[in-house]
């Protein structure tokens, strides 16, 4: 199983859509920096998210902050994204779960493979764990706490062709898991 580090966004949305238990089925264990845990527990987070992190499952491994989280190049990112990138680099993670476009770009620029909420859902569908169209509908139905459309925030972090390169990076092609079909996301997620 690949070593995976998660930022707040994918965990937040997977809890809200009821798909959070896909993560241990896909990755066995997910590492998060303490600041991501704190963001999930923040009073402004939805109650379901706060309840979930208060009873964090055993597969979620919370780690202390790593040096590098204050790197000038990532200063424009929020604290959770900075900490997730720093942790991923420190532990040599094979995959980062992150939805934020700028964070995704910086992580990829540092050689990290990145996918977001939609990539997780897509991989779960390819493994026969969920119906992808139904999962997208659940995601679209969730209101965004920032006032922006959740599904488009998740999608925009995955530039065209990224799914294919992520599959190559993770070695998923070698495991018989084909890359995501690029047309699926924008067609199903258009508002």
- Tokens for 143, please give them: 């209101």
132/163 Cα distance (integer angstroms): 15
85/90 Cα distance (integer angstroms): 9
pLDDT of residue 71: 59
- In tens, the pLDDT along 81-117 reads 999 999 999 999 999 999 999 999 999 999 999 999 9
Q: Does pLDDT of 33 surpass 60?
A: yes
Q: Does pLDDT of 155 surpass 90?
A: no
87/61 Cα distance (integer angstroms): 12
Highest-confidence segment of 71-85, 94-108, 161-175? 94-108
Residue-number span of the structural domain to which 29 is assigned? 4-189
101/107 Cα distance (integer angstroms): 10
The CATH number of the domain where 124 resides is what? 3.40.50.1010
Ranges assigned E (strand) in the chain = 4-6, 30-33, 60-63, 95-97, 114-115
- In tens, the pLDDT along 43-64 reads 999 999 999 999 999 999 999 9
Q: Does pLDDT of 164 surpass 90?
A: no
Burial (0-12, 13-18, 19+ Cβ within 10 Å), 97: buried
Domain count, the chain: 1
Backbone φ and ψ of 30, nearest 5°: -125, 130
């Amino acid at each position: 199983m690949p070593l995976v580090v998660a930022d707040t966004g994918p965990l937040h949305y997977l809890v809200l859509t009821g798909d959070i238990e896909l993560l241990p089925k896909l990755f066995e264990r997910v590492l998060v920096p303490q600041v991501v845990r704190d963001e999930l527990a923040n009073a402004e987070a939805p109650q379901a998210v706060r309840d979930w992190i208060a009873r964090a499952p055993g597969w979620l491994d919370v780690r202390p902050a790593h040096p590098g989280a204050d790197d000038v190049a990532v200063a424009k990112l929020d604290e959770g994204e900075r900490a997730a990138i720093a942790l991923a680099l420190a532990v040599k993670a094979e995959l980062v779960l992150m939805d934020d476009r700028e964070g995704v770009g910086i992580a990829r620029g540092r050689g990290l493979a990145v996918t977001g909420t939609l990539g997780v859902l897509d991989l779960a569908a390819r493994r026969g764990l969920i119906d992808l169209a139904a999962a997208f509908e659940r995601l679209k139905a969730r209101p965004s706490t920032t006032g922006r459309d959740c599904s488009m925030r998740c999608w925009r972090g995955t530039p065209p062709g990224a799914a294919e390169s992520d599959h190559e990076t993770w070695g998923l092609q070698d495991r018989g898991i084909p890359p995501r079909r690029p047309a699926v996301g924008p067609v199903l997620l258009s508002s």
